[in-house]
Amino acid sequence: MPKKTITLLFILCFCTIAKAQTADQVYDKFLDFNDARSHNNLAKTLTLGQQILVNVDKLPAKTRIYFYNALAKAYEDNKEFGKALPYYETVAKAVPNYYVVHRALGYIYLMPADELYKKLQATKDKTANATVMQDYKKAVLKALPHLEKAQACDPSDETLALIQSLYKNIKDDAGLRLLSGRLGTLSKNCIDIITE
C-alpha cells in the first residue's frame, strides 16, 4: 500500500510540475499574444490572453499592466464590455494618469446610464421615474470622473459636449460650472501610452 501511495504522489507532483509554465514560457506566449494583436487576429488574441491569465503572475509587474490593458481592449473590440471592465479598472488603479483607460472606463460605465435615460424618456410615471433617475444619476456620476480625465488629457468636442449634457441631465449646475477648473487640474501628468 505505501508503495502505491508514493507512486501516486510522484505522478501527481510530476503532472503538476509538467503543467506549470515557466516565466519564459509565459513571456513567449505573451509575445505571441502581441503578435496576434498586431495582426488584428481577435480570436487568437483572446485565446492566448485566456491562457496567459492562468500564469499572469509570472509576467513582470509592468508587463502585466500592459497585458491587462491589451486584453481589456481585445474584450472591448469583441463587444464583451463586462469582461473588459475589471482589467481596465486594474490598469486605472496602477496607472491613474493613463487617460486612454479612463476614456474606455467612462464609456463602459455610461452604457447602463444610456439605457436608464431611455427609460426616463419613455416613462411618464413620476414615482417610477424618481427611482430610475436615482439609478441614472449614480451611473452618470461613476462615468463622469473618467470622461473628465480623458477630456482633460485629450480634448474632444464630442466628449466635452457629452460631459456637459450629462451634468445637465442630472441637474448638477455646480458640477457643470466648475468643470473648466477641474479639467485644468486633471490635465496635469497625463500619460498617453503604457509600455511593457
pLDDT tens for residues 35-85? Answer: 999 999 999 999 999 999 999 999 999 999 999 999 999 999 999 999 999
Average pLDDT on 107-134 reads 90
* Predicted TM-score (pTM) of this structure: 0.84
Cβ(159)–Cβ(179) under 8 Å? no
| Residue of 57, 42, 48 whose CA lies nearest to 29 | 48
pLDDT of residue 14: 45
Contact 170, 137 (CB under 8 A): yes
Q: How many residues does the chain have?
A: 196
Instruction: Provide the pLDDT confidence category of residue 129 given band limits of 50, 70 and 90.
Output: confident
| 5 confidence band (pLDDT: 50, 70, 90) | low
